[in-house]
Structure 1
């Protein structure tokens, strides 16, 4: 087997260690939360704490919501965006935990989300 093929073999173990910086984990968490909540990553604040040897992620972010005018015109609009803010936040926690764990390899114990505001997607004209 060639050296290149051996290097590409995932089962081969090398000495040393790998570290993922807190800044990299934070950026990953912000991107995952932004995707799950329908907002921009720079609007997400992420903090990490130790939770019995695992990482606990706390997020503060707004959530994307349809305008009240759009909901009045089409009440089904709430379900088309994923349900209530509560339901979407509960679902987002699972998505964020899964994505951050898969991409970083870090062991997360939980994800806590505090919704800090609403990012209204459709703005109506003031009358």
Structure 2
């Protein structure tokens, strides 16, 4: 039984803190999932944005090789669109995931695509 369950209607004093390392791990995992790359390839930094957390990411993104696109141009649309449109959509997805998992409020997510991780088979996320 939790303490909160034994004290209905009463808020408990104190606070919770999530370490920068834990926030970084959550952000890496979220970005890795969205960009379909290993979490170890994602670089994360945090800055203070007028009292709120601002997340900056640098990551490669998975994409079909040029030969695959040349032979099957529809593959770009099936993979989620252009690199720019996928990176733009990723901001909202990563922000929502990090806020949901950590309980922290982020002011923004800045993304820098650092490279392309070529995929010849399967669907790019």
TM-score by length of 2: 0.89
Post-superposition Cα deviations, 1:74-119, rounded to whole Å, max 9, x if no partner, equal: 1000000000000000000110001101111111000000000000
Change in CA separation of 1:67 and 1:7 when aligned onto 2, cut-off 3 Å: same
Quote how far apart the aligned CAs of 1:59 are: 0.3
Q: Within 2, Cα distance between the matches of 1:5 and 1:116?
A: 45
Match of 2:14 in 1: 16
Aligned pairs for 1:42-121 (under 5 A) are: 42-121=40-119
Q: Within 2, Cα distance between the matches of 1:71 and 1:11?
A: 59
Structure 2 residue runs without a partner (length 5+):
none
- Say what the alpha-carbon RMSD is for the aligned residues: 1.8
Larger Rg: 1
Structure 1 residue runs without a partner (length 5+):
none
Q: How many residues align?
A: 120
TM-score by length of 1: 0.87
Change in CA separation of 1:8 and 1:64 when aligned onto 2, cut-off 3 Å: farther
Q: Within 2, Cα distance between the matches of 1:101 and 1:64?
A: 24
Change in CA separation of 1:85 and 1:11 when aligned onto 2, cut-off 3 Å: farther
